[in-house]
C-alpha cells in the first residue's frame, strides 16, 4: 500500500512539473534542450540520473529550462553585440549548460566551466570543453577565470561557507557585465547542514551534497546588494503551477524538496559595499 501511495505522489508531482512548464511558456525551450542533450544520466558526479524515471527526468529538464531561460535573458541584455560571448559557469558539474548555450547561440560562445570536483572537471574536459579545477572562493586568484561577459552560477551559492565574500570578490575583481544566478527557492531562510542534522559522518566536500545556507529570495536580495551588485532581473521558478488544483502540491514540495528555484541577473553596483570599511 505504501508503494502505491508513493507512486501516486510522484505522478502528481510530475504532473505539477509539466503544468509549470506549460504555464511558464517554456515547452519549446524544454524540447530544444532535450534534443541537444537526450541523455542526462551523468549530470552529476555523486549520483546517476535514472532516465527511465519520468518524474526525475522532468524535474531535471524543468530546472535546466529555467536556467537556460535566465542565461538567454542575460545574453539579450548585453549592451554590446558580440561575435563571440565569453561565458564562465561556476559550479558546472557536467558541461551541460555550456553545450546548451553553444547550440542555442549557434556556436558563438567561448566557455569555461569551474568546479572544485576533479571528477566533474575531467568529465567536462572529456567533452572537449574548457574546465578549471578551482574552489569558487579562489576563482578571483585565476585571471583567466575572471574574464567573462557573463558569469553563471546555478545552485552553487548555497554550498559556500561564505557566499558574501565570494560575491564581493566577484564584484571587485572580475571582468563581466552580468552575473546570472539560481539558488533553491525557500519561503523562509534556514541553515541546512544536513551532515549535522542527520549525523552524516562520512567525509565530504561542498560539491553537490552539502548545503550550508538556504536563504529566502528576500534575504538573498539583501546579500547581493550588500556584496556589490544590483538586481537587473529576477524570476521565481516554482515546481508547481499557479492554477488549481495542482498549486497545492507546493506543500508536498516544501516537505520533501524545495518550492523551486530563485533566479537573478546581477550587474555590478558598489552603492553599499563601498561603505563597508572592513573590505
Q: What is the pLDDT of residues 243-264, one digit of tens each?
A: 999 999 999 999 989 999 999 9
pLDDT value at residue 38: 98
Cβ neighbours of 72 (radius 10 Å)? 16
Cβ neighbours of 189 (radius 10 Å)? 13
CATH classification (class only), 2-275: alpha beta
> At which residue does the C-alpha cell 555590478 appear?
268
Residue pair 78/53 in contact (Cβ under 8 Å)? The answer is no
140: cell is: 578571483
Per run of 10 residues, the mean pLDDT along the chain (length 279 residues) is 87 97 98 98 89 97 98 96 94 96 96 94 96 93 84 96 95 94 95 76 66 96 98 98 94 94 98 83
pLDDT value at residue 144: 72
Strand pairing of 131-133 and 109-115? parallel
Cβ neighbours of 66 (radius 10 Å)? 27
Amino acid at each position: 500500500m505504501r508503494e502505491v501511495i508513493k507512486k501516486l505522489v510522484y505522478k502528481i508531482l510530475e504532473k505539477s512539473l509539466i503544468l509549470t512548464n506549460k504555464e511558464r511558456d517554456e515547452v519549446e525551450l524544454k524540447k530544444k534542450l532535450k534534443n541537444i542533450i537526450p541523455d542526462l544520466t551523468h549530470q552529476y558526479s555523486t549520483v546517476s540520473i535514472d532516465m527511465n524515471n519520468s518524474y526525475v527526468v522532468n524535474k531535471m529538464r524543468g530546472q535546466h529550462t529555467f536556467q537556460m531561460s535566465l542565461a538567454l535573458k542575460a545574453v539579450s541584455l548585453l549592451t554590446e553585440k558580440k561575435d563571440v560571448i565569453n561565458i564562465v559557469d561556476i559550479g558546472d558539474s557536467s558541461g551541460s549548460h555550456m553545450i546548451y548555450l553553444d547550440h542555442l547561440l549557434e556556436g558563438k560562445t567561448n566557455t569555461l566551466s569551474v568546479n572544485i570536483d576533479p571528477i566533474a572537471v575531467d568529465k567536462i574536459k572529456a567533452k572537449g570543453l574548457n574546465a578549471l579545477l578551482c574552489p569558487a572562493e579562489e576563482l578571483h586568484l585565476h585571471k583567466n577565470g575572471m574574464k567573462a561577459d557573463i558569469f553563471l552560477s546555478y545552485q552553487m551559492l548555497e554550498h559556500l561557507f561564505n557566499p558574501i565574500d565570494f560575491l564581493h570578490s566577484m564584484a571587485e575583481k572580475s571582468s563581466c557585465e552580468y552575473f546570472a544566478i539560481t539558488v533553491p527557492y525557500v519561503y523562509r531562510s534556514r541553515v541546512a547542514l544536513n551532515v549535522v542534522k542527520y549525523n552524516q559522518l562520512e567525509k565530504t566536500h561542498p560539491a553537490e551534497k552539502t548545503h550550508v545556507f538556504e536563504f529566502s529570495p528576500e534575504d538573498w536580495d539583501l546579500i547581493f546588494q550588500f556584496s556589490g551588485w544590483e538586481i537587473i532581473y529576477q524570476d521565481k521558478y516554482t515546481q508547481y503551477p499557479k492554477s488549481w488544483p495542482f498549486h497545492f502540491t507546493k506543500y508536498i514540495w516544501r516537505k520533501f524538496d524545495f518550492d523551486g528555484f530563485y533566479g537573478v541577473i546581477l550587474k555590478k553596483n558598489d552603492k553599499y559595499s563601498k561603505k563597508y570599511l572592513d573590505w
